[in-house]
Amino acid sequence: MMLREWWLKQKLSRALNNDKASLFPCLELHYHYLLTQLDKPISELNLLAIDIEMTGLNAKKEQMVSIGAIPIINAQIKPKLAQYKLIKIQGSVGQSAIIHGVLDRDLSNALSLPEVLTWLFEQCQDKILVAHHAPLDLQFLQQAMLKTQSSPLTLFAIDTLNIEKQRQLRKNTALKTGGLRLNACRDYYHLPVYNAHNALTDALACAELLLAQLNGMGELGKTPLKKILNYC
């Protein structure tokens, strides 16, 4: 744990001192918030559960089309503060519309990549990101930064998929194909089934899953951020 904490602090310090971070002032505030909260329990922190829908799974080739975000404040989900944004893309959503339901005509007034990054970093300046399969979402955000400022920055998040994977491995449970998908993980905690692949619905599903996971381990009040924070 000591090595993990040291490494997290190193990554955060480097990110905070990166000149490129100044292009997104709220991102600098976000890094500072993370640095000062590593020892605090999750129940005392401000979190932001997010989900991003894309045209495909390859962050270098595909594009983001929508993002949903919902705050979790002091272990309480705040649905009235939830937000949903559509994102402009180059070309067409193609067959991916079958999955996420976003059509080309829906994106006529969508946010540009710089606008959506600025909006997201404003939302998380005093919050920690939470996502299911967080590396995928973070990779798409990094690619968006690469397109807008020519240099991606390190991003940090709590990954509910990884939490569930580690829980099952500790129980010596065989990992089943598809067993770590969002709805499959929710089923372990008897959470209701939601229609998948709407960014806002999936952000809510992720938020509920995180609280259920921590409650299930009896660790909501004592799990420090540094124990479950990941970076990409």
pLDDT in tens, 159-198: 999 999 998 888 877 788 889 999 999 999 999 999 889 9
DSSP structure string for 88-101? --SS--GGGHHHH-
Structure tokens at 150: 């020519």
Distances, alpha carbon 85 to alpha carbons 119, 125, 136, in Å: 9, 18, 18
Cα distance between residue 87 and residue 92, in whole Å: 12
Domains of the chain by residue range:
2-231
Cα distance between residue 156 and residue 225, in whole Å: 11
pLDDT tens for 199-221 read: 999 999 999 999 999 988 776 66
β-partners of residue 87 are 111
What angle is formed at CA 78 by the lines to CA 76 and CA 83, rounded to 5 degrees?
145
What are the CB-based long-range contacts (under 8 Å, 24+) for 178-186? Answer: 182/132, 182/206, 182/209, 185/132, 185/160, 185/161, 185/209, 186/212
Query: What is the pLDDT tens value at each position of the chain, 232 positions in all?
Result: 577 788 888 999 888 888 777 778 899 999 999 999 999 998 899 999 999 999 999 999 999 999 999 999 999 999 999 999 999 999 999 999 999 999 999 999 999 999 999 999 999 999 999 999 999 999 999 999 999 876 778 999 999 999 999 988 888 777 888 899 999 999 999 999 998 899 999 999 999 999 999 988 776 668 899 999 999 8
- What is the architecture, at CATH level 2, of domain 2-231? 2-Layer Sandwich (3.30)
